[in-house]
Chain A
Amino acid sequence: MTRDDIKDVVLEIIEDINDEEDLSKIDGDKALRDQIELDSMDFLDIVMELRKRFQIQIPEEDYGNFETLNKSVNYLEPLLADK
């Protein structure tokens, strides 16, 4: 998957969780939680959905990598390289 594909997937998953937010204005370098309504349970939803879609296990200590959209893409890029 390309970086753009991964970004689209993450945004799609967030939209599934919360479809009442405007995701088009998300700044990739700013914390997601500061821009849209997302709490710890929502982040677990993101992790679970990635697991379901791509069979990847994300250890708890790596959850911090999902702070921003760009950090998420950076983290997922090697994991989804051959997907």
Chain B
Amino acid sequence: MSQLPDSQRIVITGVGLVAPNANNLTDFRQALLDGRNHIQEIEHRYIGKVPAGICNFEETKYRKRKENKRGTRAGCLAVYAANEAINDANIDLNNCDKSRIGVYTGLTEHGNVETENEVYNISQFDYNVDYWTHHHNPRTVLNSPAGEITLNLGITGPHYSIGAACAAGNTALIHGLQMLRLGEVDVALTGGVSESTSSFGIFAGFKAQQALAKHPDPNKASRPFDTQRNGIVVSEGACLYTLERLEDAKKRGAKIYCEITGYHTNSDATDFVLPNTTRQIECMQAALKKAGLNAEDIDIVNCHATGTPQGDVQEMRGIREVFKNCKNTYINATKGYIGHCMGAAGSLELAGNLGSFEDSCVHPTINLNNIDPECDCPNLVVNKPKEGVNVKTILNNSFGMVGINSVIIVTKFEQ
């Protein structure tokens, strides 16, 4: 039971998402329980065929084709998720103070797609920069996806991006929570967005690092903890949450998914790409401390687990350490279903587990045929859901390059 006043307790009252295998929370949850993933092979400029997670959704549901062409893919995904999150929270934008809504989008990167496209475009004109588009700068400013949301919804509160590599989804949630606690905004529309599949350079970069997954069957390419895992499947996606202070949510009788009870973010300060188990442990422990919880209070740990040989080992080493005496804590990972949605990964993977508060199931880790002994741990849920678990608390890990870690803890809402 939280000791904080309702003005400092932050709850999730709406969820909007676009993932490679689903376009709303209900379908996403069902896909995860059914073991349905969706990774496809795409053909990219220069790099050729690669497995990727591509979102298939009604792109003109909330924005005209013209605006989608003018804006970015990230904006297109973000606008869809933002509208769904606001609608899900049952907030009537025509009857609220839109200057008190903050929009914070977590991004791994932004601008690669647009710049690559323009360089390719002018290459068709002998690199004459007269052919460089006037849309380049508004598309590549880092506030772009958040700004595209405010343009679409007429929100006049603050908007900007939280750049935090692949920890960004969680980090943006943390920022939204902090802004609400500070009283800077009354509603935070926050989470993660990624358009990275449109950039050949992202794939090429992972390939150069020997961290790009390959498999004859794209749906089997992303395989966290499996002995045959060989890297990351790059995916696009978006998942935005409507966050509010509990007192406001109660006042308007909002549906409350859960409360964000713990969080932490820290830095490895050790390597550009290699993760650091010690810092990950510290991050999880600090989040537990903020939540006033012990490790054994956590029912589900959702791993970052990208499917790289070393990253999965490092993370599991940390989880085994933090949760070593926790007989009732279940462990899962989501990237086998949707690949690595980069900036959207943390928030999407958290969303995928929220259903467990209601259905008492832990979604499994899929594509896990032969567990790497170094990635094994008790209560790792593999290939079929664990049913009948009274889930009250979920811990979600999200880590990123240049040494950034983020952890979110959510708790089933109780008065």
Q: Which residues of A line the B interface, CB within 8 A?
A: 17-20, 37, 41, 44-45, 48, 51-52, 57
Contact = CB atoms under 8 A, between A and B. Distances in A.
A44 B64 contact: no
Given A17-B69, A41-B70, A45-B134, 11 more contacts: A17-B66, A18-B66, A41-B134, A44-B134, A48-B131, A48-B133, A48-B134, A51-B130, A51-B131, A52-B125, A52-B131
B44 to A, nearest CB: 23
Contact-residue bracket for chain B: 10 to 19
22 contacts: A17-B66, A17-B69, A18-B66, A19-B65, A19-B66, A20-B64, A20-B65, A20-B66, A37-B66, A41-B70, A41-B134, A41-B135, A44-B134, A45-B134, A48-B131, A48-B133, A48-B134, A51-B130, A51-B131, A52-B125, A52-B131, A57-B130
Contacts of A37: 66
Contacts of B64: 20
B360 to A, nearest CB: 46
Contacts of A52: 125, 131
Tell me the interface secondary structure of chain A in the complex.
helix
Interface string B63-101: 011100110000000000000000000000000000000
Tell me the interface secondary structure of chain B in the complex.
helix
Contacts of A51: 130-131
Interface of B: 64-66, 69-70, 125, 130-131, 133-135
Nearest to A18: B66
The 8 tightest CB contacts between A and B, nearest first, are: A18-B66, A44-B134, A20-B64, A20-B65, A19-B65, A52-B131, A20-B66, A41-B134
A19 B125 CA distance: 26
Contacts of A45: 134
Contacts of A18: 66
A51 B66 CA distance: 21
Nearest to A57: B130
Nearest to A19: B65
Contacts of A17: 66, 69
B311 to A, nearest CB: 42
A11 to B, nearest CB: 15
B244 to A, nearest CB: 35
A77 to B, nearest CB: 23
A18 B131 CA distance: 20
A48 B135 CA distance: 11
Contacts of A41: 70, 134-135
